[in-house]
Chain A
């Protein structure tokens, strides 16, 4: 199966909009579907570059997302601002172990795992590695699936900010980390979306 015929190898392109199959042009330039006019690509265009770009942006924003306060609670008893981690620590010390674990996994572990996994995938493609392509493909599927769940924190903050707004008695406001955290989640989703898993297998085909 090392030299299995793929569309790309046969010089064929499928339109991603109207699904019309057409032959790849020989001249240089951007191919367009002869029927609907949509741009045609054998693989996602600049997949690796875009993945890297989104990934690096997500990694940069992950730092302020965790160090800056995500939520400012001001009440009659004073104001308090919490980072994600201090919130987790507070939940843990106050005895809500399950809740602490949920928040920790959803807000800290998942984005981190996603970024690590994407880095591994992008790096492996970049280095043209042939290591466990099936496992890597499964990893990609998992990433795609869990990515949206890390928005949990943002949901909590936005709902609280909207609900608890009893002006003088108590109010909750989203801190600067909330925006950064949201950006991290969105950027990792973009990164995983722009990654083309077919690239994993392309390398396999070239191997003798």
Chain B
């Protein structure tokens, strides 16, 4: 082992003053690391948004960790897990959203899966063919926060933030409309059918339509909507008219609306205002039947040929329609009544202004009191269709509108056909009751007797001819002699009358005396008249005599 060298041979190291703080610099590194790590962690915590669940009917296209949630094509989250709901009927996607999505999560926010879709009106989601489906979002406006959502099966037609108004329409049936069908205003596409559903009672279809912003102000409270589906072919006195909104509506159907000119200045309709959807434009633009009254009519005859919707007609003006035809069996009396329910629109008889002066039902009451009755009439002899006519029957027995079972009942009269029928029937019955057999026998006997009489008469005439004629000739000769003597007598009479005439001539004294006598007689009659007048005024004078009135 070699000896360590002498320490003196080894040079001593030089010394410089120590910088003690330099050792501490190394701790800056973990501090910086901690700051970076802490910053990243803080950022991650702050960036971490809410986790929500969305239930869908199918998980088609949904992949955990891969499927995104997008709002206006901006990534705001992704699906972290896909599982089943508790009842295993739906698929529940757990979605982790970014922080900025927090305010979107309110009660009426909607989610749907964006997949490629091809419909008659549009093709959408083609981009997802390559990128895979994603979840679309339509943030709601509600203030209520929510974390569990039910996803839509189809994308919403109208997003919540789109300016415009929703309206509700009621129609008899769907027609050829569908979700996405256009809404036209003066043939401009201004809106869309958003949804439709059957009424709760199944008696109609309810549509929800959306009218885009600048156009929604044209929807007034009095606006009429009608189905602009397909073709409208009218044949009338002016010729054939073919009407359609657009080629698209020809195929897809659509809704059009218009406001009557008189209410064009009204304020726009409110959100979710309700309207009727009429089958066509002409019906829609008719005067609205704001007042509607329901009456029952019981006809004592067959209502065959009367259908629901048949018109109720007042001297040719349609003022209502048949709403229902029922059969009412009265168990107590065993009678079967056929009540026909009608809807009447009194506005059609009166103006709107006058209508307000008359209370409910007053018009019909008045008309019935004046002799108006309901009657079934045949609209067409060919088809046998009946309609209900209201008309004056002055001969009808007095009646009034009665209330029966909560419904006002308008008295009816038998139809003219029926009346004719009953009359004929009555006649036939009477004829039937006549003792025709006997009558005919009697008549025959009478005829025989008549024949005998005639024969006797003939014989008598013959007898007259042979026996009476010479006698008659003689009588005539006698008559001629008698006439000649009568002529002589008349000439004598003429002479006597001429004598009388002389007596009564102008200056004959007898005539003057007669005139005097007549004049006196006239005077006597005059005084008698004044006496009668006086007596008439003072009957008491008969008893008390004439009282001379003293001048006052």
Contacts and interface: CB of A to CB of B under 8 A. Distances in A.
A32 B14 CA distance: 5
Which of B10, B12, B13, B23 counts the most chain A CB atoms within 10 A?
B13
Interface residues of A, number: 46
Nearest to A35: B11
Contacts of B34: 56-57, 60
B498 interface: no
A49 interface: yes
Contacts, number: 108
Contact of B27 (A32, A34, A45, A53): A53
A49 B26 contact: yes
B130 to A, nearest CB: 5
Interface in A126-158: none
Given A67-B44, A183-B33, A32 B15 contact: yes
Contacts of A37: 14
A31 to B, nearest CB: 4
Which of A53, A63, A180 counts the most chain B CB atoms within 10 A?
A53
Contacts of B132: 77-78
B33 A56 contact: yes
A78 B68 contact: yes
A69 to B, nearest CB: 11
B14 A34 contact: yes
Contacts of B14: 25, 31-34, 37
B242 interface: no
Interface string B329-362: 0000000000000000000000000000000000
A53 B29 CA distance: 7
Contacts of B10: 12, 21-23
B40 A176 contact: yes
B361 to A, nearest CB: 70
B16 A32 contact: yes
A205 to B, nearest CB: 16
Interface size, B (range): 20 to 34
Contacts of B29: 53-54, 57, 187
Chain A residues touching B, majority SS: mixed
B32 to A, nearest CB: 7
B131 A78 contact: yes
Interface string A39-52: 01000011001100
Interface in B4-18: 4, 7, 10-18
A163 B12 CA distance: 58
B130 A76 contact: yes
A196 to B, nearest CB: 14
Contacts of A21: 10
A61 B38 CA distance: 9
A64 interface: yes
B73 to A, nearest CB: 13
Interface string A68-109: 100000001111100000000000000000000000000000
Nearest to B43: A176
B13 A32 contact: yes
Contacts of A46: 23, 26
A94 to B, nearest CB: 14
Given A5-B4, A33-B13, A68 B44 contact: yes
A29 interface: yes
Nearest to B14: A32
Contacts of B68: 78
B15 A23 contact: no
Contacts of B66: 78, 80
B83 interface: no
Nearest to B12: A23
B135 to A, nearest CB: 13
Nearest to A190: B29
B15 A27 contact: yes
Interface string A111-129: 0000000000000000000
A40 B10 CA distance: 14
A27 B13 CA distance: 10
A139 to B, nearest CB: 23
A24 B196 CA distance: 97
A10 interface: yes
B130 A23 contact: no
A172 to B, nearest CB: 17
Nearest to A46: B23
A61 B37 contact: yes
A37 B66 CA distance: 62
Contacts of A58: 33
A160 to B, nearest CB: 20
A61 B36 contact: yes
B239 interface: no
B450 interface: no
Contacts of A5: 4
A14 to B, nearest CB: 10
B41 interface: yes
Contacts of B75: 79
A180 B37 CA distance: 8
Nearest to A183: B33
Given A64-B40, A76-B130, A77-B130, 7 more contacts: A5-B4, A23-B7, A28-B15, A29-B16, A31-B14, A60-B30, A61-B37
Interface of A: 5, 10-13, 20-25, 27-35, 37, 40, 45-46, 49-50, 53-54, 56-58, 60-61, 63-64, 67-68, 76-80, 176, 180, 183, 187
Interface of B: 4, 7, 10-19, 23, 26-27, 29-30, 32-34, 36-37, 40-41, 44, 65-66, 68, 75, 130-132
12 contacts: A10-B4, A25-B13, A25-B14, A27-B15, A29-B16, A29-B18, A32-B16, A34-B14, A37-B14, A49-B23, A78-B66, A78-B131
Top-5 shortest CB links A-B = A57-B33, A31-B13, A57-B30, A29-B15, A56-B30
